[in-house]
Amino acid sequence: MPLASETLKGMWAGLPVPWDTRDQLDESALRENVRRVCRAGVHGVYTHGTTGEFYAQTAEEWARVVDATVAECKPFGIPTQIGCTALWTAEVIRRVAYAQQAGADGVQIAFPFWMQLTDAQAVKFLQDVSSAVPGMPLTIYNTERAKKPLTADLLKRITDAGIPLIGCKGVGSLEELQALFEAGPRVKFFVGECHLATYWKCGARGVYSSFVYACPRFMLRYFQLCEVGNAEAFKIDAGLQRFISEYVVPRVQRGLFDSALDRTFATMTGFLSGSLLRSRPPYESATPVDVEECREWCSAQLPEFIREI
């Protein structure tokens, strides 16, 4: 059943794709990992974000990941959202149509990013996609890598055009979230893990999470605490912010990016199966040393991350 603004919320797992030693998709491991997060109780599974390396897959690989993910989620009743970002409108439409035919519940799209779009072009792009594949709800992947930020003015133009936008992944600040929420109060805003408790009061309602498949019980408990405004949620929020600033940021500065770091978290706890440390070149892969340093940091500073798996 297609997602709606009223049903889009929670801790969604944006799983890394397992590549084998020949750099081929390990589909059996992928399917097992989807089953594992579904059994853990995640609120949804989505594919082909940055962690899912949408930018480094052939059309055939992309389709295999879609088919496997949707098929494994269906028996659990867990909704799916497929990343359909591409560099031109026709390819985005092709991917959205494929996701709809495969049975996905929604799609997530960044604006085409080789050349920056104007506001009018951005609205026309979404109109063309939604008109070509009616009935498929859209979420915007609002990332600086797309070169086209979702401003409050642009969001109002999108909603006024009747485009079925139900969600937005990514906001830069609390002030930005407040402005976007006022412009699109029916849109559900998903933020980084370390901001969910703080941003909840301004409309944040979930996370496309790179932590929930490492420590699902911990992150699902965190979401429940955020929902009711429990003070412990803010302590977890602060702990996750320390983790980002003290462990993640130094490695980003070294040249490790989203996929490599997210694979580190998953490998550290061992909740997922398969060989997960390999990222596709030219982007650097994390190493066993990174994993051990991550484990040491969490053991000392945020032991729940390791304990509540």
DSSP sequence for 252-291: HHHT--HHHHHHHHHHHHT-S-S---PPPTTSPPP-HHHH
Q: pLDDT for 244-268, tens place per residue?
A: 999 999 999 999 999 999 999 999 9
pLDDT surpassing 80 at residue 36:
yes
pLDDT at 31: 98
pLDDT at 2: 86
Q: What residues have CB less than 8 Å from 292, skipping those under 6 apart?
A: none
pLDDT at 169: 97
Q: CATH number for the 10-229 domain, one of 3.90.650.10, 3.90.380.10, 1.10.10.350, 3.20.20.70? A: 3.20.20.70
% pLDDT > 90, the chain: 99
Among 194, 102, 76, 183, which Cα is nearest to 140's? Answer: 183
Q: pLDDT for 276-285, tens place per residue?
A: 999 999 999 9
Is 207 within 8 Å of 237 (Cβ atoms)?
no
pTM over 0.85: yes
Given CA atoms 11, 223, 301, 303 in this order, what sign does their dihedral have?
negative
d(CA 74, CA 135): 19
d(CA 93, CA 99): 10
Q: What residues have CB less than 8 Å from 98, skipping those under 6 apart?
A: 63, 66
In the structure, what pLDDT confidence band is assigned to residue 29 with cuts at 50, 70 and 90? very high
What's the chain's length in residues?
309
Quote the tokens at residue 263. Answer: 């694979």
150 DSSP 8-state letter: -
Is 182 within 8 Å of 159 (Cβ atoms)?
no
Q: What are phi and psi of 166, to 5 degrees?
A: -110, -15
pLDDT surpassing 80 at residue 1:
no
In the structure, what pLDDT confidence band is assigned to residue 186 with cuts at 50, 70 and 90? very high
d(CA 100, CA 81): 10
Distance of CA 91 to the CA centre of its chain: 21
Domain residue spans of the chain: 10-229
Q: pLDDT for 220-232, tens place per residue?
A: 999 999 999 999 9
pLDDT at 185: 95
d(CA 168, CA 64): 25
Region of 162 (left: φ > 0; alpha: ψ -120 to 50; beta: rest) is: left
Q: pLDDT for 55-114, tens place per residue?
A: 999 999 999 999 999 999 999 999 999 999 999 999 999 999 999 999 999 999 999 999
d(CA 84, CA 97): 10
Q: How far apart are the first and last CA of the chain?
A: 29
Q: What residues have CB less than 8 Å from 88, skipping those under 6 apart?
A: 112
Mean pLDDT, the chain, rounded, equals 97
Provide Rg for the chain, Cα atoms.
18
d(CA 108, CA 85): 7
pLDDT surpassing 80 at residue 115:
yes
Distance of CA 139 to the CA centre of its chain: 11
d(CA 264, CA 213): 11
